[in-house]
Amino acid sequence: MTSFSHLDVQRPQWRTVVISVLAFWISSSLILDLVIMPTLYASGMMTEANFATAGYSIFWVFNRIELVCAAVVLTGGMILRRQLSTANWQHHRTVLLSLALLSIGLFYTYGLTPEMSALGLPLNLFETATEIPTRMNLMHGEYWVLEVCKLAIGTVLLGNYYKSPVNA
């Protein structure tokens, strides 16, 4: 009984939390981009009538996970910046980069994914030809540009937090 009488609660180590979340986020994005989506494309799923629904379901979940990861990274960056006695330009830069990641996640969640799934839904059930709209190809280009930016920013942040000597 005496072993439970003294409970020591420690504060979370925000640097470790941010590094773990960034590593999870970058790796899961790479798995989605380089394994799952190419596999679905190679298996011919993009020509199926329900591909837009399946794609929306996959990205609906993943986009929400991205938003949670971006919020944790931004929160951790702000807490670490606040806890340091001398906040220099590098700490301000990490907060700005975290805001950029959050912005990309918000654009994916509320802009790109709903628009792409709406373009992919067949509106005429009697039409047999399934042609990819040109707007969809432009949106795929937007997605890949943002994805490269997201991965680059995430990698820079991961390097910054990994090199940071402070574990507040």
How confident is the model over 85-99, as pLDDT tens digits? 555 667 788 899 999
Q: Read off the amino acid at residue 55.
A: G
Q: Give the pLDDT confidence score for residue 11 in this predicted structure.
A: 54
Q: Give the pLDDT confidence score for residue 41 in this predicted structure.
A: 82
How many domains does the chain divide into?
A: 1
What is the spatial distance between Cα 79 and Cα 164, in angstroms, rounded to a whole number?
14
Indicate whether 3 belongs to any domain.
no
Indicate whether 168 belongs to any domain.
no
Residue numbers of the chain with a pLDDT score lower than 50 = 9, 167-168
What is the spatial distance between Cα 68 and Cα 70, in angstroms, rounded to a whole number?
5
Q: Give the pLDDT confidence score for residue 24 in this predicted structure.
A: 97
Indicate whether 149 belongs to any domain.
yes
Indicate whether 2 belongs to any domain.
no
Q: Give the pLDDT confidence score for residue 40 in this predicted structure.
A: 83
99: Cα within 13 Å, side-chain hemisphere? 7
Q: Give the pLDDT confidence score for residue 124 in this predicted structure.
A: 55
Burial of residue 163, with CB atoms counted within 10 A of its CB: 0-12 exposed, 13-18 middle, 19 or more buried = exposed
State the residue range of the domain holding 108: 13-122+129-163
What is the spatial distance between Cα 166 and Cα 84, in angstroms, rounded to a whole number?
8
Indicate whether 1 belongs to any domain.
no
